[in-house]
Copies of this chain bind each other. A is one copy, B any other.
Amino acid sequence: MAGSVFGKLLQISTFGESHGAAFGVVIDGFPAGVALTPELIRPYMDRRRPGTSSVTTSRSEADAVEILSGVFDGRTTGAPVAMLIRNTSQRSSDYEAIRDLYRPGHADYGFDAKYGFRDYRGGGRSSGRETAARVAAGALCMQLLEMLGVTCTAYTASIGPVTASVQPEDPVDRALVASSATGMPDPAADERAKAYIEECHARGDSAGGVVVCTVTGLPAGIGDPVFDKLDARLAQAVMSIGAVKAVEIGDGIQAAMHTGSENNDAFLPDGRGGVTKRTNHAGGILGGISDGSPVIVRAHFKPTPSVAGEQDTVNTAHEAAKIAVQGRHDPCVVPRAVVVVESMCAITVLDALLVNMSARADRIADFYSDLRGNS
């Protein structure tokens, strides 16, 4: 209830601080029978792992995942899955200089106001490293989504002024996203974005950007009509990632500027007895419920607040002070955040799929009738 638990049927609970012993995640309500090994999680962790390119922090963490529970003979058992990621590269001394200062753009001041004191070393609980635990959970969810024919794919759409030449409806090459420096599936733009980040970094500044996540294969009818609309849950999930300041679904802010006749997506027969849409301005969600088209989510990340230049601030006694944030920081969090957005969308969508199983009495009756027949 203090906010480190997410989900309805599937409950994800993360713990850990950037300069404590470890990060970790407990996933309660994960179904039995899904393959889970460290090797299956590894590729997702690697996409978020620091120290792999010139545009990320020089803090190097292996981010090895130890699976503590919930797995037997390589498959989930239905018991809570706990995964642990030890911190190995803390350098707390980096933070001595700022223990009594509030870093602009950071949660330091809010933490002190809320809790009376804080772990001043590297952001503590609000560190971006917390998202490693989310990625481990997301990777597991993606194993099951795959069994259900659902795919989540995120990529970098822009960094500062550099925009990738890719439309939300385009199929995205996941390998290209994973191998690029910035997460852009557009090699030319990736080069320019990388250069832009390096330039910001060189002058002690930082950059923001935009991540898009597309969910394909989701059947129509997933999500709930009122407070737990699929888009509302996705908005919480994505806005809960540290630096996100805006979330859009489908055309998002553009929709507000168009008229109804422009913005409506016409329904069409899909030629196989089903329904499709001529356009997808809605981003796959109408009235909070999926419509069978790809779900499209855009997350806007602010620039990293840790910048090298001198800034005005106050100290913990609320006196005026100057600060220049040293330490190892990403000059732009976007490249490493791509897989975090993907993970949060995967967790949210899987949870909605599980909740949806009890929407109709006839299907529940069929489910239990089959179960009795098989016992």
Contact A118 B77 (CB under 8 A): yes
Contact B245 A283 (CB under 8 A): yes
Contact A105 B219 (CB under 8 A): no
A45 contacts the other chain (CB 8 A): no
A171 contacts the other chain (CB 8 A): no
A40 contacts the other chain (CB 8 A): no
Instruction: List, in ascending order, chain B residues with CB within 8 A of A2's CB.
Output: 9, 11, 28-30, 78, 80, 224, 228, 355, 359
Copies of this chain per assembly: 4
A184 contacts the other chain (CB 8 A): no
Instruction: List, in ascending order, chain B residues with CB within 8 A of A8's CB.
Output: 1
A186 contacts the other chain (CB 8 A): no
Instruction: List, in ascending order, chain B residues with CB within 8 A of A158's CB.
Output: 256
A257 contacts the other chain (CB 8 A): yes
Q: Considering only CB atoms, which chain B residue lies closest to A273 in the complex?
A: B318
> What number of A residues sit within 8 Å (CB to CB) of B?
178
Contact B259 A303 (CB under 8 A): yes
Provide the bound-state CA to CA distance between A225 and B113, in Å: 13
Given contacts A17-B69, A253-B245, contact A9 B226 (CB under 8 A): no
Stretch at the interface among A57-65, A174-182, A207-215: A207-215
Instruction: List, in ascending order, chain B residues with CB within 8 A of A371's CB.
Output: 219, 363
Contact B107 A286 (CB under 8 A): yes
Given contacts A8-B1, A233-B236, contact A148 B364 (CB under 8 A): yes
Instruction: List, in ascending order, chain B residues with CB within 8 A of A358's CB.
Output: 9, 29, 31, 354, 357
